[in-house]
Amino acid sequence: MPRQTACVVVAALGLLASPRSARADNTEPFFYSDDAAMTGGTVVAPTRDAGAIWYNPAGLGGIRRGQIDLSGSAFGIRIRRVPDALGTNLPGGRQSVTLDSADIFSAPHAIGLVRNVSDSVALGFGFYVTARDVRTSQNQLEVSGPSIGNAAETARYRQRLDLAIDETRYHFGPAIGWEIAEGFRIGAALFGTYGKKNGFSQYVIDAEADGDAGPSRLDALVQGRVAFSYFGTQAQVGAQWEPAPGWDLGLLVRSPEFLLTASSEGAGITSSAVVAPGRTPTATFALQGPDISYPAFTIIAPLRSILGVAYHFGPRTWVSAEVDVQAPFSNEGIEQTTVINGRTGVRFRISDKLGAGFGLFSDRATQARLGDEFTDERVDAYGATAGIELRTPLSLTEHAEPEALVLSTTLAIKYAIGIGSVRAADIDLVDTTTPVPPRSVDVIYHTILPYIGSGILF
């Protein structure tokens, strides 16, 4: 078992010990209002509830009643399978390791408060969980075959791969909407942002052989652990216009998200040892601190422009569509390309108390290319939503007045399929002199996200 074999293992997977910050989700992993949850997020033009704080603050100018919107407890499951994530070429043949995970998570993700200042001006404050990902994957295998460097010997090989990620991002801040003329509204919002990510990755390989000259052993460990957090800011402005009866046009421009300050801690460990008859035992060990540092005003999310149109067929009944364009940018090693997404939805009233809706959406990856580090991914999401809403007037009299308190409860579900690729890795323990070319594997992910929303109109 030559010493260079252990060095090859450490070098091949050394990127595991390089802490990094990556966004697990694309642009819109969750929905932040009842109407959005039912219509696939297609609400830039018609929104007139507390969700306007996020989707288009101009919609606040069309609100005539105060609102408290506790719309969002999301309990979901993400199913991810990465076939042939790690290939190991052993003397007895190639062995493959998959990285599969089925992770259940919960994210209370939207709280909004709206109060009218006048008949044409409303103020709002929102708190949103705009990213939430929990992932745990592991795989272990044990095989027997010819020993490295001595085909006459039989060796036992054991290897294990572990990956764990926990990531959350928040947006919070005030918004204002103003109806400056009948049928024409403008608005703006300013968010503070906070993100944090904890990541752990580990690869271990162990080989043992019993030869005529005595036992030999090879061990190698590559491990990384990182905790990264940042504070940032993002602003947005919007407009809504009713050019003709029944028609709504909406425009939202969201600034890039700027990182203001960031911190990281953790460590990367690489270690190997070889013991063999007739050789001096050798061991290596290296400890590396996290290398995540960004200057103030680094762009970490792109400029976005969303244009939407909706047609109303009656109270709380409309069909809508929108185009979402995200601008490219490149700074501090973050590269994102132009991305165009589309959404369409239908919302309709079944009765005075019951409504429903459904929608279709795309949420394509913004990365310019697949990253070079092991387990980097670039996945486009496409999906559908459906939901129902129940409105219950709360009145002390037998016949509820229009001004009575109204309790709104919405149940919806989102399904998204993710199609893309993940950066895989290979280790060649037979030919340690020829570099192994990089490769990727195709993946299909599934996300199922129930939505429970409740709000009070007063």
pLDDT digits (tens, 9 = 90+) for 30-66: 888 889 999 999 999 999 888 899 999 999 998 876 6
Residue 315 burial by CB count (10 A; 0-12/13-18/19+): exposed, middle or buried? Answer: exposed
Q: Which of 416, 352, 345, 351 has the alpha carbon at shortest distance from 387?
A: 345
pLDDT in the model for residue 73? 56
Per-residue pLDDT averaged across 295-321, rounded?
93
Residue type, 39: T
Mean pLDDT of 369-389: 91
With a CB cutoff of 8 Å and minimum separation 6, the contacts of 284 are: 6, 7, 10, 270, 271, 272, 273
Indicate the pLDDT class of residue 6, thresholds 50, 70 and 90.
low
pLDDT at 68 over 60: yes
Mean pLDDT, the chain, rounded, equals 85
* pLDDT of 71: 60
Placement of tokens 């109204």 in the chain: 406
> How far, in Å, are 63, 353, 405 from residue 60 at the CA level?
5, 23, 19
Question: What is the Rg, in whole angstroms, of the alpha carbon atoms belonging to the chain?
Answer: 27
- pLDDT tens for 317-374 read 999 999 999 999 888 778 889 999 999 999 999 998 899 999 999 999 988 888 888 8
pLDDT at 9: 61
Residues in the chain: 458
For residues 419-440, average pLDDT: 84
The separation between CA 422 and the C-alpha centre of its own chain, rounded to angstroms, equals 15
- For 249-294, what is each residue's pLDDT tens digit? 999 999 999 999 998 888 888 888 888 887 788 888 888 777 677 8
Query: Is the pLDDT assigned to residue 399 strictly greater than 50?
Result: no
Is the pLDDT assigned to residue 454 strictly greater than 80?
no
Which range, 27-31, 113-117, 180-184, has the best average confidence (pLDDT)? Answer: 180-184
Token code pair at residue 194: 């906070």
**pLDDT given for residue 382 in this prediction:** 96
User: pLDDT grade, residue 184 (50/70/90)?
Assistant: very high
Report pLDDT for 24: 39
Q: Which comes out higher in pLDDT, residue 298 or 67? A: 298
State the pTM of this model. Answer: 0.87
- Phi, psi of 418, rounded to the nearest 5 degrees: -105, 130
CA separation (Å) from 194 to 167, 169, 230, 363, 427?
A: 11, 6, 6, 22, 38
The amino acid sitting at 324 is D
Report the pLDDT value the prediction gives residue 303, as an integer from 0 to 100. Answer: 95
Q: Are 432 and 8 in contact (CB under 8 A)?
A: yes
Helix or strand or coil: residue 305?
A: strand
- Band of residue 19 on the pLDDT scale cut at 50, 70, 90: very low
Mean pLDDT over 177-185 rounds to 95
Most confident of 84-93, 122-131, 402-411: 122-131
Q: What are phi and psi of 170, to 5 degrees?
A: -125, 145
Q: How high is the pLDDT of residue 363? A: 94
Domain ranges of the chain: 3-457
Half-sphere exposure of 351 (CA within 13 A, CB side): 5
Give the residue with greater pLDDT, 42 vs 159.
42
| DSSP line for 176-232 | EEEEEETTEEEEEEEEEEEEEEEEEEEEEEEEEEEETTEEEEEEEEEEEEEEEEEEE
- The answer to whether 331 and 295 are in contact (CB under 8 A) is no
Interval 86-91 mean pLDDT: 84
Q: What percent of the chain has pLDDT over 90?
A: 41
Q: Is residue 51 within 8 Å of 66, Cβ to Cβ?
A: no
| Residue of 197, 167, 200, 218 lying closest to 5 (CA atoms) | 218
Residues 6+ apart with CB under 8 A from 282: 3, 6, 273, 274
Per-residue pLDDT at 268: 83
Q: Percent of the chain, pLDDT > 70?
A: 88
CATH of 3-457, one of 3.30.1330.60, 2.40.160.60, 3.30.365.10, 3.10.310.10: 2.40.160.60
